[in-house]
Structure 1
Amino acid sequence: MLDAVRDCVLAVGVRRTTLTDVARRAGVSRMTLYRRWPDVRSLVGDLMTREWVAVATAAMPDREPGRPTRALIVDGLVRGAGDFRAHPLFLKIIDVDPELLLPYVLDRRGASQEALLALLAGALEEGHADGSVRAGHVERQARALLLIVQSFTLSLRTMTDEDDTELTGGAFLAELRGILERTLTP
């Protein structure tokens, strides 16, 4: 069902997606959807959680013997920011329904952010243990890192011109890498 809502949102955006459209595309009844999701927004919320967590986990590099955890965290966050900004669902939401993201930026944490914070907290604890990440309050550090990365993913286009591919890609990701390195270095 999440694949069906993804297809609908990519086709017409969140506001124009209906549970009827999703049910038809998924090959189930509307009542089947209503048993689990009260409305399209909650269904899209679960979709965003699935997609964003998948981007984050796929961005984390494999562990290598002798490689400090800090390097894994920084590489994963930088790659994740780039991958997130290129994700088709994110691009569609930003282009058609950007107001959908406002509550998660201004008012409350969503399930995606909670899952990302848990991933970051686990990595930070490992970094504290191997000495590659400066000591600190794990949850606070995780929240600070997520705030930094969110600003680069959600607001980057406000700081660049549309035709400035150099800035929207490598140059700003290099700046993000420098900020994260300096933030985490003991």
Structure 2
Amino acid sequence: MQTSSPAGRPGRPRNAAADTAILAATRQALVELGWSRLTLGDVATRAGVAKTTLYRRWSGKHELVVDAVAELFDELELPDRGSLAADTEGVVLQFAAILARPEAKSGLMAVVAESTRDDALRERIRTSIVERQKRLVLQGRTRAQARGELPPEADPEVAARTADLIFDMVAGAVVHRTLVSAEPADEEWVRGFTRVLLLGLAASA
């Protein structure tokens, strides 16, 4: 699991234990109170820290919730199931399970909606969640190349663009399925999605 790196003022002292407690308290508050009723004061009380401690680390609850949700996605791991298809199915199932958690669902939907009016918040979501999880695509591709399932890339720029596209396809499909359509991303759906992703529409038909 990667360590969250909440943004703060230059030169401030850091306390990793306090950061961990605050982010855990934020997720707990999201479960019990929901996005609209969550306040920094409640999070501070739950974490056992002064409210000023939160403001030294986060400018508001939007940024705090992004970092709290980002830690959930850091739990994602690419399983080694012996093939690219099986590995993909495994990580997509994990992703869907995280999105089904109430703290991830309410937190992510709220900050994404707010980011449509806040460029800085959109950038924080990109760097704290999206960019950190692109590692899974790179790991999967490297592993598949080692198995001989995928050829090596000749052009690094094309390889990077392809990795971005794959991430967008996976994340977009799973988020839409679970949060927008509110349908289960179960094993049957994940198997069908992976088949289309890896083989294309003609092959899957």
TM-score w.r.t. length of structure 2: 0.68
Distance (whole Å) between structure 2 residues aligned to residue 159 and residue 175 of structure 1 = 19
Quick check: 1:150 aligned with 2:167? no
Q: 2-side partners of 1:180 and 1:84: how far apart?
A: 21
CA distance in structure 2 between the partners assigned to 1:114 and 1:172 by the alignment? 26
Distance 1:158 1:117 in 2: 20
Distance 1:119 1:140 in 2: 15
User: Which of residues 21, 28, 49 in structure 2 aligns to 1:28?
Assistant: 49
Which amino acid in the other structure matches residue 131 of structure 2?
A: E
What is the total number of aligned residue pairs between the two structures?
169
SS for the counterpart of 1:50 is helix
Counterpart of 1:129?
146
Partners in 1 of 2:174 and 2:34 — Cα distance?
A: 20
CA contact (8 A) 2:92 2:190 kept: yes
The code of the aligned residue for 2:89 comes to D
1:82 aligns with one of 73, 76, 96: 96
Q: TM-score normalized by structure 1?
A: 0.74
Aligned to 2:186, the other structure's residue is in SS state helix
Residue 141 in 1 paired to residue 162 in 2? yes
What's the offset of the Cα at 1:159? 7.8
| 2:14 match | none
Structure 2 partner of 1:100? 111
Q: What whole-Å deviation, never above 9, does each CA across 1:100-119 have from its counterpart, x for those lacking one?
A: 22449x96524111111123
2:133 corresponding residue in structure 1? 116
In structure 1, the partner of 2:191 is 174
1:158–1:82 distance in 2 versus 1, CA, 3 Å? closer
Asked whether the 8 Å contact 1:14–1:44 carries over to 2, the reply is no
* 5+ residue gaps, structure 2: 1-21, 201-205
Q: Tell me how large the CA RMSD over aligned residues is.
A: 3.0
In structure 1, stretches of 5+ residues that fail to align are none
4+ residue segments displaced more than 6 Å? none
2:85 and 2:23 map into 1 onto residues whose CA distance is: 33
Cα distance, 1:99 vs. partner? 4.1
SS of 1:132's equivalent in the other structure is: coil
Which amino acid is the alignment partner of residue 82 of structure 1?
A
SS at match of 1:133: coil
1:51-102 superposed Cα distances (whole Å, 9 cap, x missing partner): 1121x22xx32x36xx34x2454133332233133223233347xxx34224
1:78–1:176 Cα contact (<8 Å) kept: no
Question: Deviation of residue 135 (structure 1)?
Answer: 4.1
Determine the structure 1 residue equivalent to 2:3: none
Percent identity (aligned): 23
> In structure 2, how many angstroms separate the alpha carbons of the residues matched to 1:157 and 1:144?
20
How far apart, in 2, do the equivalents of 1:170 and 1:159 lie?
19
Structure 2 Cα separation of the partners of residues 7 and 72 of structure 1: 33
